[in-house]
Chain A
């Protein structure tokens, strides 16, 4: 059930109206949200509900056992069990084919892919259950008193399949002071949902996706112009697709009164790679920081160990996105840039204007996106080489004039806007917009959402 589908709108209307009718019956409200979440998840593939239940139950009991246990060794064993079961699920469903293919490649034997369907959102909810167990192990979180509260935390439908990855410490306390429906939150939630949907349906799917897809599907030779237009289009597509989804999720949750963490803060306005990762997929990067980078030693040891930790964290972050070498390279490149940036910042003080720094980071991030989007390493290299090919011949792949116009135009607008409002929360932007402009903006957004449809409307991050 996609947020941009009529089925979801119907589903949402039924749930929110029933939720409102339950007024102050908190237990029933939680029950309704839990059932709705499983229906939402089951709409993709009902048997996979068993998988999410498995993950929920395992971590519920293991976290309780960790909390009860006084012996550190036993605690560690329980934690290890949690890690093995959660990462095991990921390994089986997400990485089996990748591992077997890599082994076959090394041993030069034949490889026939196993017929495994990737359960949607598995990477997101296993990270949530994992963080719960780890936090309890560290003593920074007390286990939930109610299994249903915990089950709802794992399966809460707005963020279930593509994040943001919510920490139990952020979500579970909201049950203690159970949020009532209020009109202010409801309208603000709907406004966020509308903006997110506009990003996804109109900018990502309708304008940019067809342009980006063309570049990555062509078998023709590629030159500089095509690479520029196609890569910029993908850059805009992935941002609008994913941040659009996150904003929809945050908005929907808020209409029920629940607060979810931010996932994006104008990432293309970043002036460094470390800033980029504080602005892009924040819930994942902060998860990786707290549960991988810091346990690895973070920046507490030698400089070399710090660079190594940055590199490993991003490499595994890349692998989290998908089971292919391209994602590994994508992560490795980000890790390398982060390490290089840290190395340079201690030695060279460059007083470049902020905008110039932003442009440099944006160009590099764009180049790395090529590995993220291309299906194979060869295809990525072919597109990268296109950057150095200024030939303009008939047998080369080329874009229509309007596609060039849309890709460059939309990306210029996105970059300019992100740079201008880089430190301003969305709430304060909405606050400051004069009423007539606000009216026109939402009129345009509603109209375009309702009338314009892209060819492919699935969210990119569902596959992760």
Chain B
């Protein structure tokens, strides 16, 4: 076999170092275990990154034609504000599906779900009068398109096996995206930047944990004023519309699909998640509650609305960045929210 002359297989090395090879593998496993233990010891938690395809698969799983599905739709506020462990315990017979997307208003996903006749469950939709506007409808299009383009290949058994086999990664802190070797090395060697300790951790069910106990007060103050300024500029940059115009827009976009959805047994809860007083004041100035939020249930017949101001115990919350609950606060908020939910609706 004249070809076998170089890389590989004609001759194995005389000194193959078999034991050293096996030892290096064992040492790797030990090294990873020790690193994982050390990270846990220093308050690093597992965090998982979800791809568009993962989201699309989740979205597909909502089409089970079962009324025992509860789907969360919205953005970071619901991702950070719901204690999914507590929520799941309270709704044991239900399948909880989290379709919220960080940083993106969920109106588009809401419409996609309620227009889909294969979906019959309940939807908890975290929103604000501002993000219900027409301009926000396309903000989750990338995710919705991934769902629409979900190919049969993506649902193959092989992928499911692969997902199961690699699911241990969800439970390991060492796979946190901020511990990205490429960036860590670049920050250290090229940019001379300090390591930014992660404080947001993505859970296996896609909900987020904000563990802010290690964040300096100064950082949190900066984050709060940044969020507030961003919100101010979004309000200023978006053309103002009167309450009447807003109501007409909401009715035009959502009314019919919601009517159809409720007719086939679906339940829809609009929730305004907690924010700081400063932030709320600014919002209420632009969108007074009685002219906007409180009008929702009369425009969209059959929906339920929950405003955090009405949920006792969390109505005067002070969050780490102005709009998001941290890990401890969500544990207080969720039971109040669930009680309130159970009072107004039987899911």
Contacts and interface: CB of A to CB of B under 8 A. Distances in A.
- Asked if A and B bind, the verdict is yes
B3 A261 contact: yes
Interface stretch (B21-29, B64-72, B304-312): B21-29
Given A265-B7, A405-B186, A425-B7, A442 B24 contact: yes
Contacts, number: 138
Interface string A105-119: 000000000000000
B25 A170 contact: no
Given A191-B21, A286-B3, A431 B13 contact: yes
B96 to A, nearest CB: 26
Interface stretch (B100-108, B131-139, B158-166, B229-237): B158-166
Interface in A435-450: 435, 438-440, 442-443, 446-448, 450
Interface string A1-29: 10001110010000000000000000000
By secondary structure, the A interface counts as helix
A451 B175 contact: yes
A451 B1 contact: no
A381 interface: no
Contact of A250 (B9, B32, B182): B9
Contacts of A425: 5-7, 11
A5 B7 CA distance: 24
Contacts of A262: 3-9
Given A10-B165, A206-B182, A450-B32, A435 B17 contact: yes
A156 B6 CA distance: 22
Interface string A33-76: 00000000001000000000000000000000000000000000
Contacts of B183: 402
B219 to A, nearest CB: 24
B contact residues, range: 35 or more
Contacts of A302: none
A358 interface: no
Interface string A259-272: 11111110000000
A259 B10 contact: yes
A247 interface: yes
A192 to B, nearest CB: 6
B34 to A, nearest CB: 12
A188 B11 CA distance: 9
B28 A450 contact: yes
A464 interface: no
A231 to B, nearest CB: 20
A443 B8 contact: no
A384 interface: no
Interface residues of A, number: 55
B99 to A, nearest CB: 22
Nearest to B189: A405
A17 to B, nearest CB: 17
A190 B18 CA distance: 10
B3 A188 contact: no
A190 B6 CA distance: 17
B3 A282 contact: yes
Contacts of A264: 7
Given A187-B18, A191-B21, A1 B7 contact: no
A440 B20 CA distance: 10
B241 interface: no
Contacts of B9: 188, 192, 250, 253-254, 259-260, 262
Nearest to B162: A7
Given A286-B3, A428-B13, A447 B182 contact: no
Given A184-B16, A402-B182, A43 B7 contact: no
B14 A431 contact: yes
Contacts of B22: 187
B344 interface: no
Contact of B191 (A183, A265, A401, A447): A401
Interface in A399-445: 400-402, 405-406, 425-428, 430-431, 435, 438-440, 442-443
Contacts of B7: 192, 247, 250, 262-265, 425-426
A451 B184 CA distance: 14
A331 interface: no
B314 interface: no
Contacts of B32: 447, 450-451
A435 B14 contact: no
Given A207-B182, A431-B14, A435-B17, A7 B165 contact: yes
A439 B191 CA distance: 31
By secondary structure, the B interface counts as helix
Nearest to B169: A453
Contacts of A430: 13, 15-17
Interface string B190-233: 11000000000000000000000000000000000000000000
Contacts of A191: 16, 21
B181 A431 contact: no
Contacts of A440: 24
B58 interface: no
Nearest to B166: A6
Interface string B125-162: 00000000000000000000000000000000010011
Contact of A184 (B12, B20, B27, B166): B12
Contacts of B161: 7, 10
Nearest to A441: B24
A439 to B, nearest CB: 5
A247 B3 contact: no
A443 B24 CA distance: 5
Contacts of A5: 162
A404 B16 CA distance: 37
B20 A426 contact: no
A298 interface: no
A183 B9 CA distance: 14
B16 to A, nearest CB: 6
A452 interface: yes
A185 interface: yes
A185 B158 contact: no
A236 interface: no
Nearest to A451: B174
A450 B31 CA distance: 12
B8 A250 contact: yes
Nearest to A431: B13
State the 8 A-B residue pairs at the shortest beta-carbon distance, nearest first: A402-B186, A6-B165, A431-B13, A188-B12, A446-B28, A442-B24, A261-B3, A265-B6
Interface of A: 1, 5-7, 10, 43, 170, 183-185, 187-188, 190-192, 206-207, 247, 250-251, 253-254, 259-265, 282-283, 286, 400-402, 405-406, 425-428, 430-431, 435, 438-440, 442-443, 446-448, 450-452
18 contacts: A10-B165, A43-B158, A187-B18, A188-B13, A192-B7, A250-B9, A254-B8, A262-B4, A263-B7, A282-B3, A405-B186, A425-B6, A430-B16, A438-B24, A440-B24, A442-B20, A442-B24, A442-B28
Given A264-B7, A427-B12, 15 more contacts: A170-B3, A188-B9, A247-B7, A254-B8, A259-B4, A265-B6, A286-B3, A425-B11, A426-B7, A427-B8, A435-B17, A439-B20, A439-B27, A442-B24, A447-B28
